[in-house]
Chains A and B, each alone.
Chain A
Amino acid sequence: MIVQELIFYFFSLVMVLAAVAVVTVRNPIYAVLYLVLAFFSAAAIWMLLEAEFLAIILVVVYVGAVMVLFLFVVMMLDINLVPLKEGFIRYLPVAALVAIAMAVEMLMVVWSRGRFGVDMFPVPAPNSADYSNTRELGELLYTNYLLPFEVAGVVLLVAIIAAVALTLRTRPGIKTQNPSEQVRTRRDESVRLVKMKSEKPRGA
């Protein structure tokens, strides 16, 4: 048990430090890499909660795909750091106000007796060895929560179509290639053999 607690505190510490680093480091590439580290530590903590499906999906989707694209975009942008830092002092009071409001809200929820606290939540019984997190999740999603699940799928589909519709521009007069046509090209369409008489070399 002590090992588990040590692992928990280790990953929590890494995650919090990484999250702080995301907003404090100067280099945007470092910020993205720290975000990757934060996601990874979160996945490890979920693993400790026996939620292995969610943990691995977090790595597959966020670390493996979303953050790669983030990194891609941040590397492509030529970010000049000076204008980003310009209004720091001017906006500081507003930012501090927002931060304090958020902190107070969170503390109000967490500190109120009776809703959170160790005594409110009994220690869950450890699952048996043949317990499959993935199977349980799948059974719930496809029986009790089928409609919300399907609706979420439709919303995602609409979002994809909207993203394509918003960014797709068709301009007239641009040259495009049709790869299937290129691949279908045959020899006799581009090569023509011409019969001609052999000629004498000049000056012979």
Chain B
Amino acid sequence: MFEMIEAVFTWIQSQYLIWTLLKIVLIVLPLITVVAFYTFFERKVIGSMQIRVGPNRVGPLGLIQPFADVFKLLLKEIILPTNANRFLFVIAPVIALAPAFAAWAVVPFNDFLVLADVDAGLLYVLALTSLGVYGIIIAGWASNSKYAFLGAMRAAAQAVSYEIAMGFALVGVLILAGTMNLREIVLAQQGGILDWYWLPLFPMFVIYMISGLAETNRAPFDMAEGESEIVAGFHVEYSGAAFAVFFLAEYANMILISGLTAIMFAGGWLSPFEGMPVLGDTFLGEGSIIWFLAKTVVFMFMFLWYRATFPRYRYDQIMRLGWTVLIPITLVWTMLAALMTVLGIVVKGS
């Protein structure tokens, strides 16, 4: 009898482990695929913004292009520079990639589809996004190259500066939602497009997106790469698969920031038509994972749009913008958000 109970117990435990692993695979595999097609999407979008066609040779409409790129990178030789620190040089891309994937553990795709429904989800996300910069710094230092080192220094200064603005922007969300659980943050925004936090926290919404650009080192804040000034910055010495991993990390981070913006400021999986007289009663008014993915894609598109629109910032102006413009605005708006909650202007889940 006892043995049988034990057997059943271990079976359930092994099931749980297998189940969790399965869920991780179900998140990571689509993510990698989306990264591949995101690069294709980027080239097409920027192509059409610059009145070009973009890649259209490999496969129908050029759809196989991302795979061609990946195989090209994988088949290339990885060159280790002389006097580079071998161990750190090889491990740096992995350090850059790991947090970008690990952060997805707490992202709620809809009301029940979430890998880990943890209470301190928002803090967890902040902690992991702040770790990504280590990959860049270590890569820059281990390469034993002055351009890579300059890129690493720029990345470190930029990441530390913009993390503060990013954190403060999320403090506003925290105050209005009264919880750090990402699922509950979305639930607190119920009630249609005007109840989402982009409206009461509009300056913070904008600041979050700007700091998101800076955190992911995307144009116009791509100082860490700055190909017209420091060749390619931190990854100038990387080639082949090692470079591909850096590439993967950058795009995974962009998708992550887009998803987080959708959750914090655009109601996650909630429908924009919720509570509207006619549309709200049809299937369009129901929240679903499709809305979450659609919102994420919109923010992903904006990343590309910025890249095609703005020229790169000068280094000192990036610092000025972060410290003297964004942080004071978030500080003031934090007070306003507290006032909104106290006076009952924004009510949770109304």
Contact = CB atoms under 8 A, between A and B. Distances in A.
B interface, how many residues as a size bin?
20 to 34
A72 B119 contact: no
Given A52-B118, A52-B120, A132-B119, A72 B157 contact: yes
A76 B146 CA distance: 12
Interface in B117-172: 118-120, 123-124, 126-127, 130-131, 133-134, 137-138, 141, 149, 152-153, 156-157, 159-160, 163, 167
B149 to A, nearest CB: 7
A33 B142 CA distance: 13
A68 B156 contact: yes
B127 A60 contact: yes
B120 A65 contact: no
B166 to A, nearest CB: 11
A interface, how many residues as a size bin?
20 to 34
Contact of A68 (B118, B119, B120, B133): B133
Given A53-B123, A57-B123, A63-B130, A76 B118 contact: no
Nearest to A27: B85
B317 A179 contact: yes
A36 B317 contact: no
A134 interface: yes
Nearest to A74: B141
A134 B133 contact: no
A133 B120 contact: yes
Given A52-B118, A56-B120, A71-B156, A63 B163 contact: no
19 contacts: A52-B120, A53-B123, A56-B126, A56-B127, A59-B127, A63-B131, A65-B130, A65-B163, A69-B156, A69-B160, A71-B137, A72-B137, A72-B156, A72-B157, A75-B137, A75-B149, A75-B152, A134-B119, A134-B120
Given A52-B119, A72-B157, 4 more contacts: A36-B134, A59-B131, A60-B167, A69-B160
Identify the 4 closest CB pairs spanning chains A and B, nearest first.
Answer: A64-B130, A59-B127, A56-B123, A60-B127
